[in-house]
Structure 1
Amino acid sequence: MKQKKLDTINSSGFKVPKDYFSQVEEQILSEVHLKNKVQVSGFHVPDSYFESLEEHIFEKLETKNEAKVIKLFSWKKAIYASAIAATIVLMFNLFSTSETITFESIEIATIENYLEDEGFTSNDFASLLTDEELNKDNFIENQIPEYLIKDYLMNTIELEDLILE
């Protein structure tokens, strides 16, 4: 096979039929017209249907009977049920405990933990006592053993603070 130089080729090798470009426009327009034609769906709307549609709808709305509404949840029943449940729980708590709790039966550590957790301060306790109870003579008459004072100082006050004072 002979190889030709590309710059010497004058024709592209493609051929167009005669009068092709003059008929192309007509063929495209005829295709578009065929696609734009409305196809018959088989459904038929009665004459003046849309003019009288609104009147028919309003007539049906006016003549429609109101249905009775039945509530699914009744507040009266819920109140009765909660009152019965509260009564049963209260009766169970009152009659099931046979031992009585006294101030002496509570451990001192429990009371101390409660007071620490609640954040009571010495001012809160002082507000509960009267002037007679806070009298100096009451503290003089009550002797606190020396070992209790030593234990208190060792557990609550830092040793460095005592040395500095």
Structure 2
Amino acid sequence: MKQNKLNTIKTSGFKTPKDYFSQVEEQILNEVKIVDKVDQSGFDVPESYFDTVESAILDTVASESDTKVVRLFPWKKIMYSTAVAAVLILMFSLFFKSSDHVSWDDLEIVSIENYLEYEDYTSNELASLLTDDELDNDNFIDNEIPETSIEDYLLDNAELEDLIIE
């Protein structure tokens, strides 16, 4: 494939139809004669059109304000999908039951203590959870706490300055 350089191109690349310049003058004169013969252009404007056009435009704009809103997610489709999801969840919960039953014994004592500590219960609120038999003084006196448990508690929770006897 041979590339043409700009300085070697001898023609402009544009062509005119045959006998174009000899017939152009006749075509222009014929068009002028036709325009002179026609009195009207064929387009009519009704009487007082420009007097009433502004109010007509404002009326159409005001009436178009009640457009219909097309929702992206229709309520029927959302309702059907949530119903299907609810049925699936119900089906899985009924047919695939876990055989493990969680009881109070399974719950760690530490998690209960942390819950009660961070919830800021007062002593009266905690006492309202216990019965009179459980709050009896004998229950607190008869319980013996091993000495190792007391030592472990003091080592974990007390400061050294608190343990030094003056």
Structure 2 length-normalised TM: 0.48
Greater relative CO, 1 or 2 (CA 8 Å, sep 6+) = 2
Between Structure 1 and Structure 2, whose CA radius of gyration is higher?
Answer: 1
